[in-house]
Structure 1
Amino acid sequence: DLVEAVCLGHDLGHTPFGHLGEEVVASWAPGFRHNLQSVRIVEVLEDLNLTWEVRDGIANHTWSMPMPATLEAQIARFADRIAYLNHDIDDATRAGILSEDDLPAATRADLGSGHSERIQRMVGDLVASSEAGDIAMSTDIAEAMTVTRDFLFEKVYLGRISPATKEAVSDIVRTLLDHFASNPIPQDEGRWAEDPRQAAVDYVAGMTDRFAVRAFKGLNGGPVPDLGALG
C-alpha cells in the first residue's frame, strides 16, 4: 500500500509543459519544485491526512533529494526512473526522434537493447543488489541509467525544443501566473492560499498543457504562441 500511495502521488505537482514549465514557475516563484508541490497538493490543497511515510516518499522520489526513509519509498524511487527511461526511449523511437543505435554505448552495453531486455537488467540488478537489506543498484547499472537520462534530456526532453518554443512556454506560463496573482481564481476550482502569488502558483502548476493554452487564449483573446514540438 505504501509503494502504491507514493507512486500515485509522486508527480502530482508537475506543471504544464513539463520541465520547461517547471523552470518558468521556479523563475517566477523561487524555490518551486514539482516534488514539493506534490506534497503541498496532498497535504494542504487536498488535506488528505496522509502518513509521514507517504509524504516522505513523495517529497524524496526525485534523485536530487535524499533517499526516502522507507524501503517501500526507495523502491518507488527506483521504479520511477526505470519506468520513465524505458517508456521515453520507446516513445522517442516511435516518433522517429532516435533509434536504438543512437543510444549511448553505456546504455547498450550495460542495459541491453530493447524495452524488455533493459527492464530485465535493471530490475534484476535492483533485486540482486538489494539482498543485503538496502535498496540499491550496482555501480555499473546506476551509472548507465544516469548516462541514459542525461542523453534523453539532451536529445529528447530539451534538446529538440527551439528557443521560440521556450519563449512561447514562458509567455503562456508567466502570463497566467501574473494574471491569477492579481485577479481572483474561480472559487469552484478548489481551495487556495491567502497569499495571491502562492494561490497563482498552485492554480497554474495544476494545469494540463491544453488547459493552460485554453486559459491563456481566454485571457488574451488572440492567437496562442507557436509551441513548436510541444504543440
Structure 2
Amino acid sequence: MIVTRQELEAREAQTLAPYAMRNSASRGRRYPESPHPYRLDFQRDRDRIIHTTAFRRLEYKTQVFVYSEGDHYRNRLTHSIEVAQIGRTLARTLGCNEDLTEAICLAHDLGHPPFGHVGEETLHRLMAEHGGFDHQRQTYRILTEIERRYPDHPGLNLTYETLEGVVKHDTDYDVVDARDYHPEERGTLECQLSNLADEIAYNTSDLDDGLRSGILDPEQVKSLAIARRTLDSLGLGLDADLRSDLVRYRFIRRLIGIEVSNVIAATSRKLEEFAIGSVEDVRKAAENMACYSPALAAENQELKQYLFQHFYRHHRVVRMAVKATRTLTQLFEAYINEPRQLPDEIQRRAASSAEGLHRVVCDYLAGMTDRYAIQEYRRLYDIEVRA
C-alpha cells in the first residue's frame, strides 16, 4: 500500500484539531512548485532544513560550553533535536501539525554564530555601522538567501508558515522582526509551541549541564521552587544527591515532563477559554494561546534568574566568552584589513555583492563552527601553523 499526498491531507482533515495548521491551507511558497506525490509540504520543509550545511554545522557550535570542554555537554545541534522532540510531543498531544512544529524547531537556531550568545553580541558590535547582527534575522537569510540548493532560486523555498514560525520565534533571547509576515497576526499555534519547546529545552539542559560540570551547587539548586516541585513528584526529599548521575538523570527527565505536561494543560484551558476554533482565531487572538500556568511561569522565571547569575556568569563560562570575543574580533579585523586572506569563493562574493565587504565577512564568520573559528585564528595569528 502506498499512502498518497491526497490521503495524507485527508488524514489531517480528520485527525488534526480545528485550530491546527493544515498543509492544504498553507499560504504557499515564494517560488511555485509542483506538489510531491507522497510527501506533504511541511514535511518537505523539515527535510530541506535537515539537509542544509547550516544544520550540520550546529554540531560544533556552542550552546554554553565550547566543544573542547567535553563531549557530554549540549551543542546547538543536540539542543535543536531536543527542542524538536519536545515540540512534537506538545503538537501531537494538542492535535497540532507535528511536521510544521518540528520544521520550525529544527530551523530556529541555524543563524547562530560560533560561541553562542557572546558570538552574536560580538558580531553585532563589529557590525554596528553596517546593519548589526541578529541570529534570528540570520536564520531567515540562511533559509531564503544564503543556502544555495536549487538552480532557479536562492534559499530553500520553504512555506510561508515555516518561515513565519522562524521570524516570530519569541523567547528571552530572540528579537522578533516579522515585517514581511503580517506582524499584526500571531504565529500559528505550532509556532507558539515551538517557542515554548525551545525555552523548556534550554532551561532544563542548561541546568543539567551546569550540574554535570560542577559549576552549579546542588544545594542551591534544591532551594529553587521548581526543583522542590520536581523532587517532591519523584518522592525524593531535599537530601537527594544531585551529584549522582542517576539521580540527576531522573531529576531532569521529570522536570521536562512537568514542564511539558503543564504547557499542554494550560494551553488547552486557554484555547477553551478563548473559544479558539480555527487558525484564524489563533492569529487574531489578543495574546498567545501556548502558555504555562501562572505558578509554573513564576518558577521558571526564578530558574532563569538563577542560571543567569550562577551559570552564565560563572568565571569558567566568562573566560570562554572573553576568548571567543577576542577570536571573532581579530578574525573580523584581519579579513576586513586584508580581504585577500579570505577563501576565493568568499572574495568573489565580496566583489560581486551589493551588501558590501563587512556583511560578507560577517556571514562568513557567522557560518563558522567554534572549531573552525579557533583553527582559522591559529592559521592567521600563529606563524608556525600552516596557512
State the TM bucket, normalised to the shorter chain. Answer: 0.7 to 0.9
Match of 1:73 among 191, 194, 205: 191
Q: Give the residue type in structure 1 aligned to 2:359.
A: Q
CA contact (8 A) 2:226 2:303 kept: yes
1:175 maps to: 330
Q: 5+ residue gaps in structure 1?
A: 225-231
**Which structure has the highest helix share of the two?**
1
TM-score with structure 1 setting the length: 0.85
CA contact (8 A) 1:24 1:173 kept: yes
Which stretch shows the higher mean deviation, 164-173 or 187-196? 187-196
Q: Which runs of 4+ in 1 moved over 3 A?
A: 64-68, 161-167, 187-193
Q: Trace 1:96-175 onto structure 2 (pairs within 5 A).
A: 96-103=214-221, 104-110=223-229, 112-113=230-231, 114-131=251-268, 132-133=270-271, 134-161=289-316, 165-175=320-330
1:186 aligns with 2:284: no
The CA deviation at 1:97 is 1.3
CA contact (8 A) 1:181 1:197 kept: yes
SS of residue matched to 1:124: helix
RMSD across aligned positions (CA): 2.6
1:16 maps to: 114
Q: Give the residue type in structure 2 aligned to 1:173.
A: L
The CA deviation at 1:25 is 0.8
Percent same amino acid at aligned positions?
32
Which stretch shows the higher mean deviation, 140-149 or 72-81? 140-149
Distance in 1 (CA, whole Å) between partners of 2:295 and 2:344 is: 51
Q: Give the residue type in structure 1 aligned to 2:118.
A: L
The CA deviation at 1:85 is 1.3
CA contact (8 A) 2:336 2:357 kept: yes
Which stretch shows the higher mean deviation, 93-102 or 57-66? 57-66
Deviations 1:41-93 (A, max 9, x none): 11110111112221221223241445961111111110111112111211121
1:228 maps to: none
In structure 2, the CA distance between the partners of 1:130 and 1:42, relative to structure 1 (3 Å rule), is same
Higher relative contact order (CA 8 A, sep 6+): 1
In structure 2, the CA distance between the partners of 1:2 and 1:223, relative to structure 1 (3 Å rule), is farther
CA contact (8 A) 1:12 1:41 kept: yes
For the pair shown, the structure with the greater C-alpha radius of gyration is: 2
2:359 maps to: 198
Which stretch shows the higher mean deviation, 140-149 or 153-162? 153-162
SS of residue matched to 1:130: helix
